[in-house]
Each structure stands twice: as C-alpha cells, then as structure tokens.
Amino acid sequence: MSGDIRLRQVRDYLWEIPREGAMRVPGRVYASESMIAQVRGEGGLDQVRNVAHLPGIVGYSLAMPDIHWGYGFPIGGVAATDPADGGVISPGGVGYDINCGVRALTTRLELAAVRERLDPMVQALFRHIPTGVGSSGAIDRVGDAELDRVMVEGARWAIKRGYGTDDDALHTEEQGRLPGADPGAVGARARERGREQLGTLGSGNHFAEIDVIEEIFHPQAAEEFGLRPGGIAVQIHTGSRGFGHQVCDDYLRVMGRAVRRHGIDLPDRQLACAPVESEEGRSYLGAMACAANYAWANRQTIMALVERALLEALQIPRRELGLRLLYDVCHNIAKLETHAVEGRERRLCVHRKGATRAYPPSGTDSPWRSGQPVLVPGDMGSESYICLGRPEALRQTFGSTCHGAGRVMSRREAVRRFGGRDLTAHLRARGILVRAKEKGTLAEEMSEAYKDVSQVVEVMHQAGISLKVARLRPLAVIKG
C-alpha cells in the first residue's frame, strides 16, 4: 500500500466572482495527497467549491476520498442544507441513478466446497438475472396501480410477493422504504420505463458478484455479521434503472425553471435546485422517494433471483446455502435527517452523491448492535470492504463515508486503452470468472480505470469515520 495515506482536509477554497471580488467558500476533501492529485485536472475540486454556494448550506461542502467529476455534485460529494434557512434540494446532489446501492449477502458456503463449481454458479446467475442496457423480463410487467405500490412500499412490495422475508427489510437502510413517496409527482415516461425493469441489473458498473472473505479487521463486528475467513458472500450493486434516470431528467428541467423563479444565483447550472419547502422541492422529494423505493424493490427481487440461481447451480437445499441479507445501503440519495450542529439539533436535507450513510449504533435503524454496516465495493478485479459507521461520521460528515473506489479515467478513455484486450481471459488468469453482456462494459470497468479501493477505505478508517471490518476478494462476476 502507498505510504501517503494521511487524512487531508482541504479547507476554505477561494472562488473568484468578478463582480464581487474574491469570496471565501468552505470546502473539505477527505483524501490522501495522491488522491487530491488525481482529481485536480478533471474539475472534481471545482465542483466541491461550487456546491458550497447552495443556499442554506450548513458547514462545509464535503467530498469523500473516492471523489471524481460527476453531474452537478462530484461523485463522493456530500452537502447538508437547512430548509428553515432557505435550504435547497438539488437533483445534481443525488444523481441520475437514484438510490444506486449495494446489498451484501452472507452464506453458509465455504470456498473449499464451491471452488470447482464457480463456473456453473456464474452461468446460473447470468441466466436468472437480466443484464445490460434496457434489460427486462425478470418478473411480469407491472401495471400502473401495481407500479404505484412499488413506489410507495419499496422492498416490502417484493417481499409480499415472495421475493424474500420480513427480516430482509429490517436489514435494509430505511427498512427498504423512504417515506414521503408521491406517485403523482412521477411523469408518464418514467412510469413507462419502470414497468419492465424490476429485477434487472442494468449495465455500467452494476454487478452481481460472488466473493470470498479473505481478511477480518474487526473480529467482534465480523462475528456478529456472520463473516469468517474462507466464507462465501455475494454482493449486488444496482439502482432504480431507467425509472430513476427519467425522474432525474424530468426534474432537472423543473429545477432549471425554479432557479429563475426563486432568484437563486449559482456558479454552475448543473446545480439547479429549489428550496426544500417550495412546490418544486416537495415534488422532487416525493418523486425521488418513489425512485428510491423502486430501487429497493429491485435489489430485493434480484436477491431472490441470486438464491434461485445458486440453488440450481449447486443442487443443495436452501438451508445448506443459508443465504442471508447482511445489509443494503444506498449511495445516491437526499434525505431529511436530524443532525447536531454547534450543539443544536437541526432538521437538514442531506445530499449523498456517490457517498454512503455511515451511522454508529446510536440513532441508526440497523438491527446490528455493532452499528450500521457500510458496504464499499471495489472494481470487478479488486477487493471490496465491509466497514462500520462510527460517531465521528456524525461529527464530521453528516453520517457519511465513501461508496467505492472512484474512477480515475472516463469510460471512453478506458475503452480506448483496454478495448482490444481479451479481458475475460485476463481476469480468469487472476482467478476471477466474468460474464458480461457487452465486451465494452469490461473495458469500461477495468481495475486500471479506478483508484485503489484499499486506499480509499483506509483514509476513512484512519479518520475514524468508518472502520474496516472485513476484506472480500471477487471470485465470479456478472455485468451488463
């Protein structure tokens, strides 16, 4: 590991506004020196500064160590606004894939028992879970009334239909249902895109992955979570699919008009926003909650498809597989939460764009005594981490931490560099089986296109914001 893993807090950025002169803007980045250098030239640090101009922002505009350029906020961006102080909600602080998130599953399986069965396991996953752009067909197309129920009930919609158990909801952030969902705030095009895509993985960096638990850092939490060296785990990474993308697209247009109507001055129009308490703000929150709940229903359904695939491939009884949900967290969302600011409890709108909630045992909805699990996947060729939220996160980052490795090159550049290689064979030589619908996806997601996730996690570990519990190594991956 690189020797430069030191917490760096970059404060008091200077933003030049010609008509007003120089204005001091509060921004903070959690990163090592090398991580700061990686984002200097691509605009990610500029975005941290820009976010600090949002009306009603509280404290600092923040960025996690997986920071890279994104639409509006940087990926890894966190900001809280106070609705009582004219605070705003910005779709650019949530992203297009609303409630993109990770679901980690534990099993009773051991590596020694499945080592020779990995190929049929990955083939079964690929058969049972639709992948790729516009994928559909996992479950029957839902009608309007049923889609409304998905938007409101979230993960429990899937559970009621036999895709999991009530225990799964207890092990999901917000218990798999964000309150305040308003199906009436969702447009016709979003509804059309959402009817066919439940239970589908999608493309890009989304995946389903079989892992082996290789190293334990926090024995007490690992024992409670059911993590043991040599044990087999599964991760699912996906979100609200075309449904959430369309909700975002629709409301970016709404917010563009709202900025003018409310007289909001911004350094970047991608930060289009509206006061949380305005008509536009309430409508977006209601539609965003619908997309978040759709995403939880989606991951809940895929979990059931994972179980079906593994039982088929291994030909073992369900009890022997022992598939169980450890936790499900989202990392593209805005939520109304209560936080202590300068000794006073305030109800804030917390944006987490490519950032994960990291709550300590007190104040979390997690059923685990140790605190809320934090899931930080790497790329398909590198390790992933299960971590633990700590009280320092509430003091420094509004209960937030990193969400993954973070890109160091664009998808287009990755395809240009790696598109001619036999990437499936390359990964197989490293002991990782991969099945993807499109060859281009593998090139886009090569390890070289990402930061070192171990360094990203180490920064937050040393800061005391999220502690390492276990390291997972990929064995088999399916992608779009």
Active site members: 403
Alpha-helical runs (H) found in 279-401 = 279-314, 318-321, 391-396
Q: Are 333 and 288 in contact (CB under 8 A)?
A: yes
Tell how many helices (H) and how many strands (E) occur in the chain. Answer: 17, 20
Q: Are 251 and 91 in contact (CB under 8 A)?
A: yes
317 Cβ contact partners less than 8 Å away, ≥ 6 residues apart? 311
Name the residue with tokens 């120089």: 22
Q: Are 421 and 434 in contact (CB under 8 A)?
A: no
**Across the chain, which distance is largest between two alpha carbons, in Å?**
71
What CA–CA distances, in Å, run from 388 to 187, 235, 248, 327?
38, 17, 30, 11
DSSP secondary structure letters along 246-299: HHHHHHHHHHHHHHHHTT---S-GGG--EETTSHHHHHHHHHHHHHHHHHHHHH
Helix or strand holding residue 218 (H, E): none
